Structure 1
Amino acid sequence: MRCCAICDPVITPTDPRAARPRIDWRRLDGILLLDKPQGMSSNQALQQARRLFRADKAGHTGSLDPLATGLLPICFGEATKIAGGLLGARKAYETVARLGVVTDTDDAEGQVLRERPVPALTIDQIDAALRQLTGHILQKPPVYSALKRGGEPLYAKARRGEPIEVEPRAVEVHAFDLISAADLLDGGEPLLRLHVECGSGTYVRSLVRDLGELLGCGAHVVELRRLWVDPFREPRMWTLQGLEQLRAQAGERVLDACLLPVEIGMASWPEVRVNAAQALRLGRGQGLRGPYPVRGQVAILDERGRGLGLGEVDAEGRLRPVRLFRWAAQTGAAGAQ
């Protein structure tokens, strides 16, 4: 990891990177619902999408393992200011668990730690185990995870062979349901296809690992796909390959039409509307007395419904700006004229 610009490597004329065309980055605001491919890290997918759109600023809203596919919301420009709020959103997954084998990463990319015979199981037994892992539970995150200790991800310590003890933490699992056990019950591969809906900080790999222990044989994830993330319940996802083809065929302007406006990403927050004079005050960093009926973090919109940013309503009903978009003050100034 580069610590500063001084540490950047010197690129010589013989370095293959010297032949890369320079990217003319541009200001771009919006949200891309990316269908992350298997085998690519979330950051690799983010950087590829950023280069494709030439966006000067980008961030994603919650990592997916390289094994996983599916919805990875990517925020460009001012949309990055709401990315932190989307990290804690409710999410849904479909996963395939392989019974009888435990790995060090709790998925198919890890090293096998042990194998055990899979007992004869019934649907009722599987459903009973799933119910034990539903609701407010304590979950032990995987050792190979992006959680940090001492400023370093746990996976980095695990790869060096350092002993790691991970403490259980409270998570919420809204649904953990069996979709199909046909392979297992028909005497084929011991596979379970499962549906998961969960809150922030929940690891599907850990759910599958713990399910395997409850069933007496161990288990790991062999497939994982994220279906949706609030507020994007029925997402129109774009693949990197599809976006590249679209740009080649129709140009950058059509590519930009694939982005959602930032306001759609603000749908999970309670809404507060302000007039031009109030927007001007907020844009100057000043609060509004209100009183506003909601409490906590809110989405601030102008009278036409354009998003101005995020704010906080205190116990007395006063609204203060938290993270405003760059156009908030301009919107207020233009409306006040």
Structure 2
Amino acid sequence: MSTPQRRPRRRDVHGVLLLDKPLGPSSNQALQAAKRLFNANKAGHTGSLDPLATGLLPLCFGEATKISSYLLEADKRYRAHCRLGVRTDSGDAAGAITETRTVPASIDAAAIERALSPLRGDIEQIPPMYSALKHQGKRLYELARQGEEVERKSRRVHIARYDLLTRDGDELEFDIVCSSGTYVRTLVDDLGESLGCGAHVTSLRRLGVQPFDTPTMHTLAELEQMDAAARDALLIPVDAALARWPAVELTMDAARYIRQGQAVWVPHAPGEKRVRLYSPAGFMGIGETLDDGRIAPRRMMSWAVG
């Protein structure tokens, strides 16, 4: 009788992995697969991608999970393909067709641009029923699968870019840059309604999450072929995910007060609210500029406390 093999002991792994999520699995399934490959004690993702979507899914390991919410708030960039003339209940190709309409010959590039214009800038967007938002403790997609529809409050989002790249008959390709919380499926559905023919997303790929605008991504298949050292070498330092924030260099004395949870005066402190904190030994964590100009600690790395 063979002895069952022990699972490798979980490790403390710290850093950010820029995963290229494949088509099919959920964001959490992709996260769990990567977590197993790294034998990591702790990991989290930074905002879900639908199973239909592929592309950049930053995964935070260990101490990097402390900054995951800030990546969740970051602007995103997508390449979206859609089909005119067909609406689905989910807004994408994974849903059931609810309506089919003829696409008028009058819908040319100029008509599409006119329909896109009101969908740029600050807009109000109603989240789709097929979303992970909750209503009275239940996910909206769970209610949608039961045939229920509930009223959803609109939310303000910012669409920095919504540009037509190519057209092949009823198939359109868009470049979209938007704020956190934007549903591309809703953007496409709204465009289809404005054009009077309906539309749905046929494929969606996330290309960037600030500050990772031109990222080098890694697939699960690539990770499976690597040894542990090679995988670890792919992890980006925690503070790289906060690169858009100003850095504050602290003296040894100031760093000691910060470690004790006290705000400190820093010469020529930046005016931005959120900052990266560094001691002479390296990255310490996230700080906040107070109204009186002092810098206060807000989210510290475990190696910077005590």
**TM-score, scaled to structure 1:** 0.86
1:35-74 maps to which residues of 2 (within 5 A)? Answer: 35-74=20-59
After TM superposition, give the deviation of residue 211 of structure 1 in Å. 0.5
1:97-116 maps to which residues of 2 (within 5 A)? Answer: 97-116=82-101
Q: Distance in 2 between matches of 1:133 and 1:23?
A: 50
- CA gap of 1:21–1:103, structure 2 versus 1, over 3 A, is farther
CA contact (8 A) 2:10 2:41 kept: yes
After TM superposition, give the deviation of residue 255 of structure 1 in Å. 1.3
Instruction: Tell me the amino acid that sits aligned with residue 191 of structure 1.
Output: E
Spell out, residue by residue over 1:210-268, the C-alpha distance to the aligned partner (whole angstroms, 9 max, x if none). 0100111000000000001110111110000011012xxxx211110011111211112
Match of 1:263 in 2: 239
Match of 1:238 in 2: 218
Q: 2:186 aligns with which of 187, 206, 209?
A: 206
Q: 2:19 aligns with which of 26, 34, 39?
A: 34
Match of 2:126 in 1: 140
Instruction: Tell me the amino acid that sits aligned with residue 178 of structure 2.
Output: C
Instruction: Tell me the amino acid that sits aligned with residue 119 of structure 2.
Output: L
2:84 matches 1:84: no
Instruction: Tell me the amino acid that sits aligned with residue 28 of structure 1.
Output: V
SS at match of 2:225: helix
Q: 1:280 aligns with which of 256, 274, 281?
A: 256
Match of 1:118 in 2: 103
Q: Distance in 2 between matches of 1:165 and 1:114?
A: 21
After TM superposition, give the deviation of residue 194 of structure 1 in Å. 0.7
After TM superposition, give the deviation of residue 113 of structure 1 in Å. 0.9
Unaligned runs of 5+ in 1: 1-18, 185-189, 331-337
Provide runs of 4+ in structure 1 moved above 3 Å. none
Instruction: Tell me the amino acid that sits aligned with residue 179 of structure 1.
Output: L
CA contact (8 A) 2:273 2:288 kept: yes
SS at match of 1:107: coil
CA contact (8 A) 1:32 1:260 kept: yes
Match of 1:154 in 2: 140
CA contact (8 A) 1:35 1:240 kept: yes
CA contact (8 A) 1:295 1:314 kept: no
Q: Distance in 2 between matches of 1:132 and 1:72?
A: 29
- CA gap of 1:214–1:42, structure 2 versus 1, over 3 A, is same
Q: Distance in 2 between matches of 1:65 and 1:227?
A: 14
* Matched positions, count: 302
CA contact (8 A) 1:295 1:315 kept: no
Q: Distance in 1 between matches of 2:119 and 2:175?
A: 13
Q: 2:80 aligns with which of 68, 77, 95?
A: 95
SS at match of 2:161: strand
Q: Distance in 2 between matches of 1:179 and 1:117?
A: 22
After TM superposition, give the deviation of residue 79 of structure 1 in Å. 0.6
Match of 1:319 in 2: 295
After TM superposition, give the deviation of residue 295 of structure 1 in Å. 4.0
CA contact (8 A) 2:250 2:266 kept: no
SS at match of 2:80: strand
Q: Distance in 1 between matches of 2:287 and 2:60?
A: 19
SS at match of 2:284: strand
Q: 1:294 aligns with which of 271, 295, 298?
A: 271
Spell out, residue by residue over 1:55-100, the C-alpha distance to the aligned partner (whole angstroms, 9 max, x if none). 1111111110000000000000011111111111111100111111
Unaligned runs of 5+ in 2: none
| Identical residues among aligned pairs (%) | 50
Spell out, residue by residue over 1:165-196, the C-alpha distance to the aligned partner (whole angstroms, 9 max, x if none). 12221110000000101x21xxxxx1101110
CA contact (8 A) 1:23 1:51 kept: no
**TM-score, scaled to structure 2:** 0.95
Match of 2:154 in 1: 168
Structure with greater contact order relative to length (CA < 8 Å, sep ≥ 6) = 2
- CA gap of 1:99–1:20, structure 2 versus 1, over 3 A, is farther
